[in-house]
Structure 1
Amino acid sequence: MYGLKTEASFDSAHFLADYYGKCENLHGHRWRVVAYLRADELGATGTQRDMVCDFGVFKREVRALAEELDHTFLVEEGTLAPATIEALTSEGFSLTMLPFRTTAENLARHFCERLRGRGMPCSQVDVYETPLNCATYVAEEPPAR
């Protein structure tokens, strides 16, 4: 089994709807994303011969996904009133509407699924919302090659 790992980070704000504690209020994080690729075999031909994946390609993909969320307000669809969304966007705030609760667990799954959708053999993603607290998503099935 072979593997690669790379990291990226982004800053964004969020809140947790239907949560009763500090995180129900708007707050921000410097999120750290650690992505892992896994392959049983190394590439056999071409520029990726004897590689899981080109590190340059892998780094660009992870960083591009992090950049999509950088300096935005992550909002679970349906948790803010339309008037609130309209007021924020009219003031020039960048909102990223997501179809899931914006927990570190769901963001880890989001990154893993997006990487797999881009042809990366992603096996795991860790998302840190603080330097000491991280959520992990492990893909259940082996990545496609």
Structure 2
Amino acid sequence: MYGLKTEASFDSAHFLTDYHGKCENLHGHRWRMVAYIRQDGLGQEGTERDMVLDFGAFKRVVREEAARLDHTFLVEEGSLAPETLEALEREGFSLTVLPFRTTAENLARHFAERLLARGLPVSQVDCYETPLNCATYFVG
């Protein structure tokens, strides 16, 4: 079994609905996402001969997915009144409305699903919300 890992970071704001503590208020993080891929064998020919995957291609996909959420306000669908969302958009804020509570656990799963959809053999995604706090999503 062979594996690779790479990482990317992004900055975004969020808040947690139905949470009683500091995180119920709007705040930001420098999120760090670490993606792991795994497969039984190595490439047999061409550029990827004797590789799991070209690191350049792997890094590019992971960084593209992280960039989608960089410097945006992550909003759980249904957590803000439509009028609030409209006002924020009118003011020029970048919003990303997601169909889940914006926890590190759910973001790790979200990234794993996005990377799988792009054809990567993802086995695990770690999502750090702080340098010392990490949530992990395991595929399979």
TM bin (shorter chain)? over 0.9
- CA displacement at 1:89 relative to structure 2: 0.3
| Equivalent residue number for residue 16 of structure 1 | 16
Alpha-carbon distance between aligned partners in 2 of 1:53 and 1:97, rounded to the nearest angstrom: 32
| Equivalent residue number for residue 70 of structure 2 | 70
Q: How does 1:14-53 map to 2 (within 5 A)?
A: 14-53=14-53
Residues 79-135 of structure 1, C-alpha deviation per residue, up to 9 Å, x if partnerless?
000000000000000000101110000000111111111011110000000000000
Question: Unaligned stretches of 5+ in structure 1?
Answer: 141-145
Give the RMSD, CA atoms, in angstroms: 0.6
Alpha-carbon distance between aligned partners in 2 of 1:50 and 1:72, rounded to the nearest angstrom: 39
The amino acid that maps onto 2:3 is G
TM-score in terms of structure 2 length: 0.98
Task: Tell me the secondary structure at the aligned position of residue 113 of structure 1.
Answer: helix
Please identify, of 47-56 and 8-17, the stretch whose mean Cα deviation from structure 2 is larger: 47-56
| Equivalent residue number for residue 116 of structure 1 | 116
- CA displacement at 1:66 relative to structure 2: 0.5
**Hey, which bits of structure 1, 4+ residues long, moved more than 3 A?**
none
% same residue = 78
- CA displacement at 1:38 relative to structure 2: 0.3
| Equivalent residue number for residue 135 of structure 2 | 135
Residues paired across the two proteins, number: 140
Task: Tell me the secondary structure at the aligned position of residue 69 of structure 1.
Answer: coil
Question: Unaligned stretches of 5+ in structure 2?
Answer: none
TM-score in terms of structure 1 length: 0.95
Alpha-carbon distance between aligned partners in 2 of 1:105 and 1:42, rounded to the nearest angstrom: 31
Alpha-carbon distance between aligned partners in 1 of 2:39 and 2:123, rounded to the nearest angstrom: 9
